Amino acid sequence: MSTPTIDRAVDERTYASYARPLLWRLVATREFAVFALLAIVYVYARGSIVGFDGPLTIYFLFLESAPIMLLALPMTLIIITGEIDLSVASTMALTGAMLGIAYTKWDLPFLAAVGVAIVVGLLCGLVNGFLVAYLKLPSLAVTVGTLALFRGLAEGFLGTESISGFPERWTDLLKDRIGGDSSYPLFVIPLAVLAIAFGVLLHFTTFGRGVYEIGLNDEAARFTGVDIARTKLILFMLAGGVAALAGIYQSLYTVARGDSAVNLELQVIAAVLLGGVSIFGGRGSLPGVLAGVLLIAVINSAMRLDGVRGEVTEIVIGCLLVASVIAPTLLTWISGLVPGRVPRPAAPPSVGTTPEPPASGGSSLKS
């Protein structure tokens, strides 16, 4: 039996994305759009809003947005896996409350009280991670429940009481500036170190590649050797630990209260999605998320200085979030209009099978 002759040109595969210029591949991304929008909003605010270009604007912008930046780091990895954690703000409040209780009521040294708060945060993450990763419960339902649980514990421990009076050397260190007189608080340094650590973990390690694989296809990830349950457990524990750091920061910056950080998880998720992370998982980058956090912080600061009411600011951020969800479809449509798109041909027939004759009759595959 003779083997059918197949034109080898049919077997060549081309990829449309690589057929376009490099500049276009860099520009036509959600991350680039967020960075561009951040630059536009910042330049406009400096030139048009009275007081925005003052020396304290950047200083307080970073101090006030630091909890969102912290919580957005592990949230990025969790959403890339296709999961979500709605309890991070409640964990932040609970750990802040435990810091205040351990320091003022249990008379523990401050660093020991910090250790208690971090352990509580890790335990909160362990609860979420175990229920999601090993009991296979949906993360949305689990973290809605623990959101109420952790918040109830925080308010139950403190009630309407607020705790302050933490050591001045720690509160002053938190509010010090880099170099003594710059526009950037000293806290930016550990925040940058933590962001770099999460960036390396996500983008340059096998663990990070596993995070993307889980979000794209968890069954395929399992076949490639990714321990899905362990990965998710680690991510939720990281979220709890970082939420504890955010709770400690918030307690030192203001006070420890059981009702602190209410609805902060919504701003965190908005920043992550605005930064280009897909809510369906498998896509996103940490630089884009940080740009999304800064964009929300700049909008909040600019509109507050301009005397705009808070609900109007929420409407603007909500519109941006909706636009970020629509953006992938819009970018796909625009990319199809760009010249140079090379369609990928259909796969050739398997060897040993008889190819169907052309509809016009008689002519071979080679013209």
Backbone angles phi, psi at 206, to 5 degrees: -65, -30
| 14 touches 344 (CB < 8 A) | yes
Q: State the pLDDT at residue 365.
A: 39
For the chain, 367 residues long, the average pLDDT of each consecutive 10-residue run is 44 46 63 87 88 82 92 96 95 95 94 96 97 95 96 91 89 84 86 95 94 93 93 97 96 90 89 89 91 91 85 82 74 65 49 47 40
The residue behind tokens 């979500």 is 84
CA dihedral 185, 186, 191, 194 (to 10 degrees): 170
The secondary structure of the chain, three-state, reads CCCCCCCHHHHCCCCHHHHCCHHHHHHCCHHHHHHHHHHHHHHHHHHHCCCCCCCCHHHHHHHHHHHHHHHHHHHHHHHHCCCCCCCHHHHHHHHHHHHHHHHHCCCCCHHHHHHHHHHHHHHHHHHHHHHHHCCCCCHHHHHHHHHHHHHHHHHHHHCCCEECCCCHHHHHHHHCECCCCCCCECCHHHHHHHHHHHHHHHHCCHHHHHHHHHHHCHHHHHHCCCCHHHHHHHHHHHHHHHHHHHHHHHHHHCCEECCCCCCHHHHHHHHHHHCCCCCCCCCCCHHHHHHHHHHHHHHHHHHHHCCCCHHHHHHHHHHHHHHHHHHHHHHHHHHCCCCCCCCCCCCCCCCCCCCCCCCCCCCCCCC
Distance CA 125, CA 222 (A): 23
**Tokens matching residue 174:** 């938190």
Q: State the pLDDT at residue 183.
A: 80
Distances (CA, A) of 321 to 138, 266, 326: 23, 11, 9
116: three-class secondary structure by DSSP: helix
Domain ranges of the chain: 4-13+21-339
User: What letter does residue 345 receive in the DSSP assignment?
Assistant: P
Please state the pTM of the whole predicted model.
0.82
Q: State the pLDDT at residue 138.
A: 95
Q: Which CATH architecture has domain 4-13+21-339?
A: Orthogonal Bundle (1.10)
| 147 touches 90 (CB < 8 A) | yes
Q: State the pLDDT at residue 361.
A: 43
Neighbours of 206 (CB within 10 A): 9
**Tokens matching residue 230:** 């362990």
Distance CA 129, CA 149 (A): 15
Neighbours of 325 (CB within 10 A): 12
**Tokens matching residue 333:** 């449509």
Q: What is the CA radius of gyration of the chain?
A: 25
Q: State the pLDDT at residue 317.
A: 80
Q: Which residues of 143-161 are buried (b: 16+ CB within 10 A; e: fewer)?
A: bebbbebbbebbbebbeee
